[in-house]
Structure 1
Amino acid sequence: MSEVTARPLRADAERTVRTIMEAAERTLGRNPAATMEEIAAAAGVARTTVHRRFATRDVLITAMATWATQQLADAVEAARPESSPPLVALYQATANVLRVKISWGFSMNTAFAQDGESARIYAGVVERCDQLFRRTQEVGILRADVDPVWARRVYYALMHEACQNVSTADADEADTDALATQLIDTLLRGLGTPNPQLT
Structure 2
Amino acid sequence: MRADAARNLDAVLHTGARLLAEDSGTSIARIAAEAGVDRRTVYRRFTTRESLLAAVYQAKLDASEEALDQARLTEAPVAVALHRYVESIIPVSRRWPLDIRRLMQQDPEAHERAEAQRARLAAFVRRAADEGLVRSDLPDGWAMALLGRLVDNAAHDFLDLAPGPAADLVVATFLEGVGGPS
* TM band (smaller chain): 0.7 to 0.9
Identity in percent: 26
Alignment of 1:1-199 (within 5 A): 10-12=1-3, 13-105=5-97, 107=98, 109=99, 111-114=100-103, 115-146=107-138, 149-166=141-158, 174-190=161-177
* Residues 73 and 122 in structure 1, CA contact (< 8 A), matched pair in contact too: no
Question: Residue 69 of structure 1: CA displacement?
Answer: 1.9
5+ long unaligned stretches in structure 2: none
Shift of 1:148: 6.5
TM-score with structure 2 setting the length: 0.83
TM-superposed deviation, 1:138: 2.5
Aligned amino acid, residue 103 of structure 1: R
Distance in 2 between residues matched to 1:190 and 1:11, nearest whole Å: 49
Shift in Å, 1:129:
0.7
Q: Structure 2 CA distance, aligned partners of 1:113 and 1:28?
A: 12
| Aligned equivalents of 2:122, 2:21: Cα separation in 1 | 30
Superposition deviation, residue 38 in structure 1: 1.4
> Deviations for 1:59-81, whole angstroms, at most 9, x for unmatched residues?
10111012112211211111111
The aligned amino acid for 1:120 is: E
Contact 1:134 1:148 in 2 (8 A): no
Q: Flag the 1:30–1:157 CA change in 2: closer, same or farther, 3 A.
A: closer
- Number of residue pairs matched? 174
- Which ranges in structure 1 are unaligned for 5 or more consecutive residues? 1-9, 192-199
The superposition leaves residues 132-180 of structure 1 with CA deviations (integer Å, 9 ceiling, x where unpaired) of 11221222212343457321122112222333314xxx5xx64111111
Which amino acid in the other structure matches residue 169 of structure 2?
Answer: Q
Q: Are the aligned partners of 2:14 and 2:95 in contact in 1 as well (CA < 8 Å)?
A: no
Q: Which amino acid aligns with 1:97?
A: I
Deviations 1:16-60, CA, capped at 9 Å, x for gaps: 322211222343345543321111112222111100000111110
Q: In the alignment, residue 133 of structure 2 is paired with which amino acid?
A: I
Aligned-residue Cα RMSD (Å) equals 2.2
The farther-off stretch of 24-33 and 90-99 is 24-33
